[in-house]
Amino acid sequence: MPKATSDAKLLIQSLGKAYAATPTNLKIIDLYVVFAVATALTQVVYMGIVGSFPFNSFLSGILSCIGTAVLAVCLRIQVNKDNKEFKDLPPERAFADFVLCNLVLHLVIMNFLG
């Protein structure tokens, strides 16, 4: 399998090179997303070890992470300068929407955590 490994190596190299060109604000959002997903995974692992007994607590924990990640990805799509679909949308409006959605998300999560 030497070809496959070299393929994978080449893949990772070119991906890293391409990603380095991304603007900083997008990189920050990416970091936020990665962090949220990592938290979600940790919770899944924890659930696997301890069990999912207060199921609503587990669900609210994991949905909080997934929701955060998804909303952040949406924000990333909307503020990306290269994106032609959202040229008319000012970044301020996108951010306001993002904050609003997060507010709703976490208010509901707080209610559900119980």
Partner 1 sequence: MASAALDSLPAPLRSLRLKTKQQELLVRVSALALIYVLAFVIRLFSVLRYESMIHEFDPYFNYRTTLFLSEHGFSEFWNWFDSESWYPLGRVVGGTLFPGLMVTAALLHRLLRALSLAVHIREVCVLTAPFFAANTTLVAYAFGREIWDSGAGLVAAALIAVCPGYISRSVAGSYDNEGVAIFALLLTFYLFVRAVNTGSLAWALASAFGYFYMVSAWGGYVFIINLLPLYVLVLLITGRYSQRLYVAYNCMYVLGMLLAMQIRFVGFQHVQSGEHMAAMGVFFLLQVFFFLDWVKYLLNDTRLFKSFLRITLTCVITVGTLALGIGTASGYISPWTGRFYSLLDPTYAKDHIPIIASVSEHQPTAWSSFMFDFHILLFLFPAGLYFCFKRLSDATIFVVMYGLTSMYFAGVMVRLILVAAPAVCLISAIAASATIKNLTTLIRTKSKSPQTVSAKATGSKAAAKGAVDQSLPFQQNAAIVLLLGAFYLLSRYAVHCTWVTSEAYSSPSIVLAARGHNGGRVIFDDYREAYYWLRQNTPPDAKIMSWWDYGYQITAMGNRTVIVDNNTWNNTHIATVGRAMSSYEDEAYEIMQSLDVNYVLVVFGGVTGYSSDDINKFLWMVRIGGGVFPVIKEPDYLVNGEYRVDKGASPKMLNCLMYKLCYYRFGELTTEYGKPPGYDRVRGVEIGNKDIKLEYLEEAFTTSNWIVRIYKVKPPKNRS
* 49: contact with partner 1 by CB under 8 A: no
- For the stretch 21-58, what's the b/e string if a residue is b when 16 or more beta carbons lie within 10 angstroms of its beta carbon? eeeeebeebeebbeebbebbeebeeeeeeeeeeeeeeb
By the rule CB under 8 A, 92 interacts with partner 1? no
Q: Does 18 bind partner 1 (CB under 8 A)?
A: yes
Tell the smallest beta-carbon distance from residue 43 to partner 1 (Å).
14
Q: Give min distance, CB of 58 to partner 1, in A.
A: 10
100 binds partner 1 (CB under 8 A): yes
Half-sphere exposure of 68 (CA within 13 A, CB side): 21
36 makes contact with partner 1 (CB under 8 A) = no
